Amino acid sequence: MKKTKYSKQFLEELKKVPIVQVACEKTGISRNTVYRWKLEDKEFSKAFDEALADGVAFVNDMGESQLLQLIKEKNFSAVRFWLNKRHPAYKDKVEVVNKHELPELTDTQKETIRQALELSNITIQKHE
């Protein structure tokens, strides 16, 4: 009975603030106890993972809300952050330049590379 009561309180706190230590402090449960429950009780483990995911989603929503408010207030850093993360034209780009001329690959080398890419499930896209 005691575990059920405390575990429910813990999970509710974890949904509010997805930090295990904070949820433990608010409910008076040690981290060791929580992680022992997680190992021993599959149902609790699943509920733990769901509560943590709900908490993270909640904080993400709050963060996006704050970011949008800053954008409305014309905060340039917020505008730049949003565009950099959400708009393809403003994403950070990496350009790789090779200034050394490489020798032509042999047919054996080309076949080895093709096999390695095939085994790693990487596909080569041809640019038109």
Digit-by-digit pLDDT tens for the chain (128 residues) are: 478 889 999 999 999 999 999 999 999 999 999 999 999 999 999 999 999 999 999 999 999 999 999 999 999 999 999 999 999 888 888 888 888 888 899 999 999 998 998 888 766 555 54
Residue 35 lies in a domain: yes
Asked if residue 113 belongs to a domain, the reply is: no
Q: How many domains does the chain have?
A: 1
Q: Is residue 114 part of a domain?
A: no
Residue 17 lies in a domain: yes
Rounded Cα distance between 76 and 70, Å, is 9
Contact 126, 120 (CB under 8 A): no
Residue 84 inside a domain? The answer is: no
The residue type of 56 is V
* Measured distance CA(120)–CA(31) in Å, rounded: 39
22 in any annotated domain? yes
- Residue 18 covered by a domain: yes
**Structural domain for 29, as ranges:** 2-76
- pLDDT at residue 1, rounded to an integer: 42
